[in-house]
Each structure stands twice: as C-alpha cells, then as structure tokens.
Amino acid sequence: MYQIVAKRQLAPQIYLMDVAAPRVAKSAKPGQFVIVKMDEKGERIPLTICDYDAARGTVTIVFQTLGQSTMEMASLETGDSFSDFAGPLGEASEFIHEDIESLKEQRLVFVAGGVGTAPVYPQVKWLQQRGVQVDVIIGARSGDHVILEAEMKALGANVYVTTDDGSYSRKGLVTDVLKELVDNGTRYDHVIAIGPMIMMKFVARLTKEYNIRTTISLNPIMVDGTGMCGACRVSVGGEIKFACVDGPEFDGHLVDFDEAMRRQAMYKSEEGKYLLAMEKNNHAGGCCGGAS
C-alpha cells in the first residue's frame, strides 16, 4: 500500500497529494509518470510526476477530477492509501542528458496549461536548481484555476500568467503571450509545452512558424504503462510510437495532434465505463459520437 502523507486542493477540481513510494521517489526524473490504482476494482490511471523527494520517500501527484475514478481519488484523505503506485515510467525529459553549461546558454520557455502546470514544475525545478534560468508561461481558465505560480516563482523562474477570462493577471491564451515575447525580441531556443492537447497543438503550430525547437508531453489512454497494450500509440513523424515507453515527451512538430485528440476521446478520457454505460442506454438516440 502507498500512503497519502499530505493532500491539498490547489484549485477547483485540482488536487495535490504526496504519496509514500520510496523506490519511485529515488528513481524519478523530470518528465516521467506513474500509474496509480486506488483499490482492487479501480482503473490504472497514468499521472505525470509533479515532484519527488528521495530523502522523504515521497512522490507528488497532481490530478484533475474528470470522471468517476478521479472523483473517487479526490475523496481520499491524508492517511488513506493507494493499493498500487508504479513507476517512474516513460523516458525522462531529454535535457537531463544535456550538458549543464550548454543549457545555461540556451533560452528555454515552458508553456503550461491548466493541470499541465504540474508536470512542468519538476522540470523547472531541476533546471533552476542547476543554475539554468527559464521562463514559464502559465495559462488557466480563470484566476482560481492557476496552480503552482508561487512555487515556480520561488524557484526563481520568470513567470507569466494569463487567463481565458481575464480574471487574473491578463486575458488571453498562452500562445498570445508566447507570440508577444517572441515578437518583442526574446529569442527562444527551446519551447516545452505541457497542457491540453489543443493547447499543445497551437503552441507547436506557432513555434513551427518561428522555427523554435518544441517538446510536448502526451497523456493518452493507457492500460499497463509498460509497453504491453499499445493503447497509447501515437503517430510521430509518420511512425507509430508508444507514449509509455518512447515518450511521454515528443517533438511537437512531428506529433499528429488531431489523431491523438480523437484517440483520447475513445473512452471520453477516463469517464470510461460510466459513460460507456450511458452511451449504451442512449444508443437508440445515436448520440455521443461513438461508433455508429
């Protein structure tokens, strides 16, 4: 069992948990993910790692309640346990293999959208702690949906926040901020975008115009997370890749986002079984975009 040693709500529907998983904490690297399962009958849910502390033996996960499984997860409290917590899975971010001195000479910007801000955090932390100054653009629906802003600033990153409704900081999309920064003369060498698929698609489209190297992180449907099922397959540069073993990070200019978005909707993400049952009951109506 893997005990929850701390829990806090970061925003409406977004929760953070520190989970005791010493082996995972010791091996985790920025960019990797874990698979969690609540109990015997639960789903295996892939979640990107938000932070890890080898000394304390904890791994931090952040998740948004989307369907039945994540809603049940949110009802767990400090002291409760997950039955299963496997990882770290996937490849670490490629920059951890790069030379620190050359990283220091690069201008990096992270583009984070919504709950996707969480997996950006360990990357920013890893770089800032090694003296690599980075910029971070955080986008959210509204002010109260902005997460980890203070934590990013505490690491020393330059943080820009934008909200869809303008209720906090400024109004607009992350791509508006990125475009402004570039048009005003900031010359980025590498953009790392993590957030909703549609956001990553438009960031990649913009950076393609500007010819800036771009990395994105996918969170597709998975079952085992170790390469066995192939549910997470994605077309990258015309080749089939498995996000769980080849990714989750890929070259944003090569990913077929439209296909990835369609595949993500296969089970309406993790609302899965519940929605499928609803769909069956409504079958006569022919709605829901299922196979008809």
- Work out whether 287 is an interface residue with other proteins (CB under 8 A): no
Site for other proteins in 10-69 (CB under 8 A): 23-24, 27, 37, 41-44, 68-69
Q: Verify binding: residue 242, other proteins, rule CB under 8 A.
A: yes
CB of 63 to other proteins, least distance (A): 15
For position 201 contacting other proteins by CB under 8 A, the verdict is: no
**Phi-psi category of 24—alpha, beta or left, where left has phi over 0 and alpha has psi -120 to 50?**
alpha
With binding defined as CB under 8 A, does residue 289 bind other proteins?
A: yes
> Between residues 33 and 188, which has the closer beta carbon with respect to other proteins?
33
Residue 116: CB minimum distance to other proteins, A: 22
**What is the Cα–Cα distance from 151 to 8, expressed in whole angstroms?**
14
- Give the binding-site size for other proteins (rule: CB under 8 A): 45
Element holding 280 (H helix, E strand): helix 272-281
Question: If binding is defined by CB under 8 A, does position 235 make contact with other proteins?
Answer: yes
* Site for other proteins contains 224 (CB under 8 A): yes
CA dihedral 82, 87, 91, 96 (to 10 degrees): 90
Quick one: DSSP state of residue 31? T
Residue 118 contacts residue 148 (beta carbons within 8 Å)? yes
Report in angstroms how near the CB of residue 127 gets to other proteins at its nearest: 22
Give Cα 268 distance to the centre of its chain: 17
In the list 156, 181, 267, 278, the residue contacting other proteins (rule: CB under 8 A) is: 267
- Where would I find the beta strands (DSSP E) of 54-148? 58-64, 81-82, 84-89, 108-113, 134-140
Question: How far apart are the C-alpha atoms of 280 and 286, rounded to whole Å?
Answer: 9
Query: Exactly one of 15, 52, 63, 85 binds other proteins (CB under 8 A); which one?
Result: 85
Tell whether residue 84 is a contact of other proteins (CB under 8 A).
yes
Q: What b/e string do you get for 135-151 counting C-beta neighbours within 10 Å, with b at 16 or more?
A: bbbbbbeeeebbbbbeb
Among 170, 171, 208, 273, binds other proteins (CB under 8 A): 273
Interacting residue ranges for other proteins, rule: CB under 8 A: 23-24, 27, 37, 41-44, 68-69, 83-89, 223-224, 226-231, 233-235, 240, 242, 245, 259, 262-263, 265-267, 272-273, 275-276, 289-292
